[in-house]
Amino acid sequence: MKRYMSVVWIMLMSVCFVVTEAAAERIYLDITASDIRKIVVAVPPFQDDSGSRSTPTGKSIAELLSRALDFHGFVQIVEPTVYGNGQNTDWKAVGADYVVLGKYTSAGGKMTVEGRLLEAAANKMLAGRRYTSSASQRDDMVLRLVDALVEEFTGEPGVSRTSIAFVSDAPGRKEIYLADVLGRKMRRVTRHNHLCVSPRFSADGKSLAYSSYHHGNQNLYITKLNQNKITRVLSRRKGMNLAPAFSPVDNTMIVTLSKDGTPDLYRLDSKGKSLDRLTRRAGINVSPSFSPDGKSIAFVSDRSGRPQVYIMDVASKTAHRLTFQGTENAEPCWSPKGDKIVYTGLAAGHYHLFTIAVSGGSPFKVTSGWGDFESPTWSPDGKQIVFSRKGHGEQKIYAISANGKGMRKLFNVKGNQSYPQWSPRGN
């Protein structure tokens, strides 16, 4: 609790001190386009108040900023040794489209991090940001700067300060873990010493729900992420209690329960009390995912004989089938943009990721290559997808752009990882 309150207490001050006319007239990059060229960005070490370019702090800031920019998939970083690690060079000559010129000051336990975005061809500054906070919050200020720079390029803030929950078998049993998108600040959330699966973030990102077998049945639990000791039961009804989809508009959730025989979808309140039953013996109904407006859900049902993705209007409980290509389609996740759903489909004997418009039509195959691709989850900006990839004797967490480009492994950690879930944006 103390750590959480300290973060809340620190209100970072963000000041856009320069926004030029050129920036106001920018044409934002569509980084989901299939033919997008990566923009080349130089990030020399940040200078301290004496103008030094060689401090460990300045280099560390630039390295973190470069890693976080690179994570977004549309940036290529110029190696600092190409221009001698300095801030004064012919940026166009070294192949940079843009350069981030930064400085920092530190005194009395406080720190200021400042960055300016320069367009290399025109040698014009486009925008800048300055953040002031406790020196212990240096990395958070840097990531705020990254998200602001991404917004300058794309028109929408970046996702550097978000987290990914996942299951790891590193302890010998499958437990829930949490890390930021760069694989930093990794911590273990559960310590049940039994199988835990399917983590799900609450709508505000402050809590994490999951299913666990540590009392014999597959029960549903929730824990607040600002502490590591207390977990609360959401549902321990007889049979399946599968991880929920949290409504983005109220304090309800939709879960799969099998207490009456077949797995069906139920709506629960925040305490786990049953409010409504959405499906009734129409086959097996699992994996709900809310639309951004909270009015509809995507889910999986085998009512047609094989698992397929359906869409339901929550108020009327009417549902229609969305996927028709492929014999098995499952694990839908509704894009935060509201226009697409990503899901896992069986193709040529392996599971791959597909996206399909909410209105229907032909799906787009996102993944290719070896292995099985499972448990897709969207980034909060709807531009990337994180998933587990299983093959070659291991299962790891990967990310890919929604256009099917830039697949890469995220975490180089011990054991197998599965069931990733991307958090909402932070404050």
Q: Give the per-residue pLDDT at 215.
A: 81
Same domain, 217 and 280: yes
Are residue 134 and residue 267 in the same domain, yes or no? no
E strands present in 120-240? 124-134, 163-168, 175-180, 187-188, 196-201, 207-212, 219-224, 231-235
**pLDDT for residue 282:** 84
At residue 73, the pLDDT reads 92
> 347 and 212 in one domain?
yes
363 and 397 in a single domain? The answer is yes
Query: pTM for the whole thing?
Result: 0.90
Whether residues 258 and 131 fall in one domain: no
CATH code of the domain in which 325 resides: 2.120.10.30
Beta bridge partner(s), residue 374 = 388
Q: Which two tokens stand for residue 206?
A: 């402050």
**Full pLDDT tens readout for the chain, 427 residues:** 333 333 333 333 344 444 444 444 454 666 566 567 899 999 999 999 887 767 999 999 999 999 999 999 999 999 999 998 889 899 999 999 999 999 999 999 999 999 999 999 998 999 999 999 999 999 999 999 999 999 999 999 999 999 999 999 999 999 999 999 999 989 999 998 889 999 999 999 999 999 998 888 899 999 999 988 889 999 999 999 998 999 999 999 999 999 988 999 999 999 999 999 999 978 999 999 999 999 999 999 999 999 999 999 999 999 999 999 999 999 999 999 999 999 999 999 999 999 999 999 999 999 999 999 999 999 999 999 999 999 999 999 999 999 999 999 999 999 999 999 999 987 5
Residues 180, 135 share a domain:
no
Residue 333 lies in a domain: yes
Q: Which of 158, 174, 156, 176 is nearest to 166 (CA)?
A: 176
Among 100, 131, 154, the domain boundary falls at: 154
CATH number at residue 104: 3.40.50.10070
Domain boundary among the residues 95, 128, 154 is at 154
**Same-domain pairing of 117 and 266:** no
Residue-level pLDDT at 20: 41
Any domain includes 427: no
Out of 154, 171, 189, a domain closes at 154
Asked if residue 92 belongs to a domain, the reply is yes
Q: Other C-beta atoms within 10 Å of 255: how many?
A: 26
CB 254 within 8 A of CB 267: yes
CA dist 68 → 73, 140, 146, 150 (Å): 10, 11, 7, 10
Considering the domain boundaries, does residue 65 fall inside one? yes
Give a yes or no: residue 229 inside a domain: yes
Overall number of domains in the chain? 2
Note whether residue 33 is domain-resident.
yes
170 and 277 in a single domain? The answer is yes
Residues 253 and 304 in one domain: yes
Cβ 294 vs Cβ 247: under 8 Å: yes
Residues 133 and 174 in one domain: no
109 belongs to a structural domain: yes
Residue 102 domain-assigned?
Answer: yes
What single string gives the DSSP state of each residue in 82-137?
GGTT-S-S-TTTTT-SEEEEEEEEEETTEEEEEEEEEETTTTEEEEEEEEEEEGGG
Residues 243, 367: one domain?
A: yes
**Which residue range(s) make up the domain with 271?**
163-422
Do 138 and 171 fall into the same domain?
A: no
Q: Quick check: helix, strand or coil at residue 168?
A: strand
